Amino acid sequence: MKITNEIVQKHGLNLDEFSKIKKILKRDPNLLELGIFSAMWNEHCSYKSSRIHLKKLPTKGRQVIQGPGENAGVIDIGDDDAIVFKIESHNHPSYIEPYQGAATGVGGILRDVFTMGARPIALLNSIHFGDPKHPKTKSLLNGVVSGIGGYGNCIGIPTVAGETKFDETYNENILVNAMAVGHAKKNKIFYSKAKGLNKSVVYVGSKTGRDGIHGASMASAEFDENSEEKKPTVQVGDPFTEKLLMEACLELMKDKSIISIQDMGAAGLTSSSVEMASKGLLGIELDLEKVPCREENMTPYEMMLSESQERMLIILEDGKEKAAKKIFDKWDLDFVVIGKTTDTSNLTLKFNNKIEGEIPIDALALKAPIYDRKWIRKKTQRYKVNVKKLKKIKIEDALIKILSNPNHSNKSWITNQYDQMVMCDTAQKSGSDAAVIRIHNKDKAIAVSVDSSANYCNAFPLYGGKQIVCENWRNLISVGAKPLAITNCLNFGNPENKEIMGEFAECLEGIKEACEFLDFPVVSGNVSFYNGTNKKNISPTPVIGGVGLIKKLSKPIGHNFIHNNSNLLVIGKTFGHLEQSVLLREIYSINTGMPPDINLSNEKNNGECILKLINKNLVLSSHDISTGGMIISLAEMSIGSNIGIKIHKPKRLTNSINYFFGEDQARYIIEVNNKDLSKVEKILKDNNVFYENIGITQSDFFEIEDELKISIKDLYKINNEWYNNF
Amino acid sequence: MKSSVIVFPGSNCDRDIAVALEKMQFENKMVWHKDTSLPKSDLIVIPGGFSYGDYLRSGAIAGKSLIINEVIKAANSGCLILGICNGFQILTETGLLKGTLLRNKNLKFINKDVNIKVINNSTKFSNKYKKDEILKINIAHNEGNFFTDSNHLEELKKENLIAFQYCDEKGNINEEVNPNGSLENIAGIYNQKKNILGMMPHPERMVDEIISNKDGINLFSSLLN
């Protein structure tokens, strides 16, 4: 078959890239080889547009065992314990087929974690949908939530935290990012780097079908009106098989049989075999007729590009095949030696003893194109807000409007569909700033959280990037955890557009600055470009997933008030920054202006001081102040606990709207017992932390002196209305 | 006291129940579904999860597995059997318990803490609880909507075979606090000899105050009594 330009373009490659392929091979590729290049050189697998920017991120630290470049990042949490974690996007498939798209997103990220020898202990997700009123939104939300739950519940890993947001920017391109966290022994981490010649390459897990062929290429292009036709490229998940695969792999990992192991994720058999060989500077030869197939007459092209789920590739030590096979037999899974490592430095594909394709490994991995795409900085004008000139609004009305918005509504309709308790180590579930998961059989725990702020990133990417890292850091601090490291999922539009590339570059600058300052390195992540349809790009939406450590877990600190008549302290200074706030957006439909900037040294100082107070058992409950401002955080603390507040009018800022709805950063609310108040105040003063004592907790009513008084019952009702009427 | 936990492919609460049993000083063994004999046991637990992926129908394939014949034999000779969640579904599939578990009324998976009332506190499983005691226990299931025919329902009531019913914090039993549509808010039932208990709520999740509460502990200490 002659490879025409049309075939090349159908494979998502441009003609320059095709010339480069011909130059490397010194001949024309055949269709199988072209397919393999397309799978490895697409944006999703090659990171060709993002790589030069990603390199700038801080990835090292005393806590880091393995940074980016492996299946997942690994950090040290003391003793012989390590935490393995990563976040990944499954946006495009989830828009086309929400249930399976989301389910296989969860399945894929779980494999990344148990491939490294870790037992998964928690799942998180960040999901973004279009306008709540858009005709597709509810059905997409319903499908995605069932898919996430369907997979996690069945495999028996608790889904413990997440975020769900709505904005018209995602009307035709939703975001589904899934994060998995696992626990491993520090000296029992498994990597993907192949070693040694003539070692058996073993295929384990499900059989290969025709599902998901070219999935990664689909994820590397924008949608158009024909996107629905791509349904057959969405993979179908089977959490039951994944459970068996996970148990079988973890069982095999108990001894020393495995040299290297890699899951078959995007671009399936192609990327797994190439990555293993490339890292080991080896060649690899596969006999494709041995690949277990689910359908008849599958061609080498289909086998190499299938994205069937729940499969792994393992390179075994000599003589371990029999014992290993016994384990997979026990779990009723396929186990077939399909090839071997070689010294040719080539990927050699045979089918019934005939060579069907041969490509130098480094051409697929190291020599994949890298682009330094044009980008420009965003110019954002300030929008001077003068509340007095805006239409007058009562605080109560604004509060009710925001709390009834799906973005700020109580999400238990979602979280109740996830098993959050299985494994019996979830000490704090969804709905808090961060979830807390105990390390099994130990008294330490980790805190985990995912966060994004697309509005801030869209308004001014540099501040936005910085803010999401800090927000995540704050969420871990709020539950008493020392933040250790993050993973990021970078969801952006078309990188060939210089404004979009600018959003990417600047968000990353912001992330870098905050991560460096806070010693909060990036250990894994994923880039998802081409989020948009017909040239309309989504707002830049980087998502941060962070992990922190609680050395000794007693009862975790949550954001629900504990009792009446305790003191409420706001930590950090309130300036009343309203630009880019929820208030302006929701009430006045104003979405111009600059997001709040962050003073990183205040951020660090305030956070470390909160941690000190929590460790001294001086804090009853704590919550960071984020979108919506102080009043929304207070309302969340009240609604969750059914305990009210009574606070005085602001003493410093004369305008209550600025004071209560301003979105200044580095702030927290803490609840403190009367008997501890002077101790707390002394520590805050000694550490130069700005704070205000704003009032007390009380029963039944949410009350601001001379401004508003609402019963908690009413607030609860308002906050639950949208989902209850789903 | 000796206990055995049956592990099917797809069981996922097997470790949780084993941890709870060991914490309560049971001598526990895990039994693989392909085994054809059971270790000597005073108690056999069929744990929660998605045995065989819940394919065909929850519990249907497990109900026909190799080991289940041994479980049935043991049950008939008086051994104590506890089926939790998927375990309850499996017990109804084997016929050891009558009735069935339908899809939840709202057609969604439900995970939350619910209140249940101890209806019969004079069995091997419940003697440490007070009558009408209200427990807060976690549920996590897709098919927990208990249904049975009117004869069986009559028998359940007459013979005091209802173990637990969903209720509110004060113990009121009504439709508002029925999480899944179960007939008469039934959350767990006994067989006629009361040596078999099937329940949808997960007592093994409620044995540790740091994680949840200790409302499940007395079920295990009743067994040891």
Q: Summarize pLDDT for B105-123 with one digit per residue, the tens.
A: 999 999 999 999 999 999 9
Residues A687/A692/A697/A701 CA torsion (nearest 10 deg): -150
In this predicted structure, what is the pLDDT of residue A224?
A: 64
Give the CATH number, domain containing residue B35: 3.40.50.880
Structural domain count, chain B:
1
Looking at the predicted structure, is the pLDDT value of residue B71 above 70? Answer: yes
State the Cα–Cα distance between residues A241 and A247, nearest whole angstrom: 10
Q: ipTM value of the model?
A: 0.97
Straight-line distance from the first to the last Cα atom of chain B, in angstroms, rounded to the nearest whole number: 10
Q: Which residues of A are less than 8 Å from B53 in CB distance? A: 154, 238-241
Q: Do B108 and A240 touch (CB under 8 A)?
A: no
Q: Which residues of B are less than 8 Å from A150 in CB distance? A: 109
Residue linked to tokens 């005691």: B133
State the Cα–Cα distance between residues A504 and B120, nearest whole angstrom: 63
State the Cα–Cα distance between residues A25 and A627, nearest whole angstrom: 54
pLDDT tens per residue, range B13-22 = 999 999 999 9
In this predicted structure, what is the pLDDT of residue A430?
A: 80
Partner residue opposite A421 with nearest CB, options B52, B138, B142:
B138
In this predicted structure, what is the pLDDT of residue A572?
A: 97
For A430, the enclosing helix (H) or strand (E) is: none
* Phi, psi for residue B3 in degrees, rounded to 5: -130, 155
Strand partners of residue A693: A569
Q: How many residues are there in chain A? A: 726
Residue-wise over A285-299: b if at least 16 C-beta within 10 A, else e? bbbbeebbbeeeebe
pLDDT tens per residue, range A429-483 = 988 899 999 999 999 999 999 999 999 999 999 999 999 999 999 999 999 999 9
Helices A268-279 and A31-41, packing angle to 10 deg: 70
Q: Which of A424, A642, A725 has the most B C-beta neighbours within 10 Å, making it the best mutation to test the interface with B?
A: A424
For A39, the enclosing helix (H) or strand (E) is: helix A31-41
Q: What pairing do the DSSP bridges indicate for beta strands A435-438 and A445-451?
A: antiparallel
Sign of the CA dihedral with A285 first, then A288, A289, and A294 last: positive
What count of other Cβ atoms lies within 10 Å of the Cβ of residue B73?
A: 11
CB-based contact, B107 to chain A, within 8 Å: no
In this predicted structure, what is the pLDDT of residue A644?
A: 98
Q: Do A425 and B211 touch (CB under 8 A)?
A: yes
State the Cα–Cα distance between residues B188 and B177, nearest whole angstrom: 15
- A161 Cα to chain B: minimum distance (Å): 14
pLDDT tens per residue, range A245-300 = 999 999 999 999 999 999 998 889 999 999 999 999 999 999 999 999 999 999 99
Is A90 considered catalytic here? yes
Partner residue opposite A156 with nearest CB, options B19, B49, B210:
B49
Q: Which residues of A are less than 8 Å from B142 in CB distance? A: 153
Of A633, A610, A595, A496, which Cα lies nearest the Cα of A548? A610
Q: Do B53 and A241 touch (CB under 8 A)?
A: yes
For every residue of B161-221, DSSP letters joined together read -EEEEEE-TT----GGG-SS--GGGEEEEE-TTS-EEEESS-GGGSS-TTTS-STTHHHHH
In this predicted structure, what is the pLDDT of residue A266?
A: 82
Range of the structural domain that residue B24 is part of: 2-224
State the Cα–Cα distance between residues A162 and B220, nearest whole angstrom: 34
Catalytic residue, chosen from B33, B85, B141, B143, is B85
Q: pTM for the whole thing?
A: 0.96
CB-based contact, B52 to chain A, within 8 Å: yes
pLDDT lower than 70: segments of chain A: 214-233
CB-based contact, B211 to chain A, within 8 Å: yes
In this predicted structure, what is the pLDDT of residue A217?
A: 59
In this predicted structure, what is the pLDDT of residue A649?
A: 85
Q: Do B111 and A423 touch (CB under 8 A)?
A: no
Interface of B with A in 67-106 (CB under 8 A): none
Contact assessment for residue A509 and residue A57, using Cβ atoms and an 8 Å cutoff: no
In this predicted structure, what is the pLDDT of residue A230?
A: 59
- A238 Cα to chain B: minimum distance (Å): 8
Contact assessment for residue A565 and residue A459, using Cβ atoms and an 8 Å cutoff: no
User: Closest-CA residue in chain B for A151?
Assistant: B53
B158's CB contacts (< 8 A; 6+ apart) are none
Q: Which residues of B are less than 8 Å from A246 in CB distance? A: none
For A507, the enclosing helix (H) or strand (E) is: helix A498-518
Q: Do A427 and B15 touch (CB under 8 A)?
A: no
Question: Over the Cα atoms of chain B, what is R_g?
Answer: 16
Of A408, A517, A505, which Cα lies nearest the Cα of A457? A505
Average pLDDT over residues B71-95: 97
Q: Do A426 and B211 touch (CB under 8 A)?
A: yes
State the Cα–Cα distance between residues A484 and A63, nearest whole angstrom: 7
Contact assessment for residue B169 and residue B114, using Cβ atoms and an 8 Å cutoff: no
Contact assessment for residue A434 and residue A447, using Cβ atoms and an 8 Å cutoff: yes
Interface A-B: count of C-beta contacts within 8 A: 87
User: Closest-CA residue in chain A for B213?
Assistant: A427
A669's CB contacts (< 8 A; 6+ apart) are A568, A569, A570, A571, A622, A623, A625, A630, A633, A634, A637
Q: Which residues of A are less than 8 Å from B19 in CB distance? A: 424
User: Closest-CA residue in chain A for B53?
Assistant: A240
Q: Which of B50, B61, B176 has the most A C-beta neighbours within 10 Å, making it the best mutation to test the interface with A?
A: B50
Q: Do B50 and A425 touch (CB under 8 A)?
A: no
- What is the edge-to-edge ordering of all strands in the sheet holding B134-141? B27-32, B2-7, B43-46, B80-84, B196-199, B186-190, B162-167, B110-118, B134-141
For every residue of A232-285, DSSP letters joined together read GGS----HHHHHHHHHHHHHHTTTT-EEEEEE--TTHHHHHHHHHHHHTT-EEE
CB-based contact, B220 to chain A, within 8 Å: no
- B125 Cα to chain A: minimum distance (Å): 22
* Phi, psi for residue A669 in degrees, rounded to 5: -115, 130
